[in-house]
């Protein structure tokens, strides 16, 4: 039986996605779910985990290629696990409405990233305002905040993921006991 344990694999060129991964870990630990956080490139084995979250930024309206490659290379191992996909994007909270809508539905429109149990695109953070041409291109207001992470939104998503892990653990325990009554 796979232990009720979660692995969060992340890719974070600027640190924001790592910060989200660490926050998720703290939420899972509060729910008494052992959790490990590792860079995607350093993950060797996902076998001991019931839950797996892959987290990476969206760049150029695409999930970071390293995260997509990891997803594709390990997809044969997801069947018995709860799989969550997380992306960070500064634009989801600041860009013009049509871009925000596209980003909010990002994973739904990525057939190569199916199947998964739960997904989300959270805000992001930039160190300085976007240059004028990027603001015009994406419709980002001049006075847009530099940090668009919503920790309450991330906490709510964590609770949903925890519920799925708990349900999967109960399902596997029932099977191990000899099925359903």
Give 98-112 as a DSSP string.
HHHHHHHTTGGG-GG
Q: Which pLDDT band, with edges at 50, 70 and 90, does 2 fall under?
A: low
Task: With beta carbons less than 8 A apart as the criterion, state whether 116 and 84 touch.
Answer: yes
Where residue 72 sits, what CATH number does that domain have? Answer: 3.40.50.360
Residue 1 forms part of a structural domain: no
**Structural domain count of the chain:** 1
d(CA 175, CA 87): 33
Residue 11 forms part of a structural domain: yes
Residue 181 forms part of a structural domain: no
Residue 52 forms part of a structural domain: yes
Q: Which pLDDT band, with edges at 50, 70 and 90, does 28 fall under?
A: very high
Range of the domain at 162: 6-176
Bigger pLDDT: 171 vs 64? 64
Task: With beta carbons less than 8 A apart as the criterion, state whether 17 and 11 touch.
Answer: yes
């Amino acid at each position: 039986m796979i232990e009720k344990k979660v692995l969060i694999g992340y890719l974070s060129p600027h640190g924001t996605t790592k910060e989200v991964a660490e926050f998720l870990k703290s939420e899972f630990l509060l729910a008494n779910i052992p959790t490990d956080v590792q860079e995607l490139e350093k993950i060797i084995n996902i076998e001991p985990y019931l839950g797996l979250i892959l987290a990476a930024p969206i760049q150029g309206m695409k999930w970071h290629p390293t995260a997509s490659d990891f997803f594709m290379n390990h997809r044969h191992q997801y069947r018995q696990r709860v799989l969550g996909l997380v992306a960070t994007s500064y634009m989801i909270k600041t860009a013009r409405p049509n871009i925000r809508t596209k980003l909010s539905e990002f994973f739904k429109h990525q057939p190569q990233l199916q199947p998964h149990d739960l997904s989300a695109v959270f805000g992001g953070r930039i160190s300085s305002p976007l240059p004028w041409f990027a603001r015009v291109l994406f419709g980002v207001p001049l006075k847009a905040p530099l940090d668009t992470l919503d920790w309450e939104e991330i906490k709510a998503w964590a609770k949903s993921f925890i519920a799925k892990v708990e349900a999967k653990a109960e399902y596997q325990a029932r099977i191990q006991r000899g099925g359903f009554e």
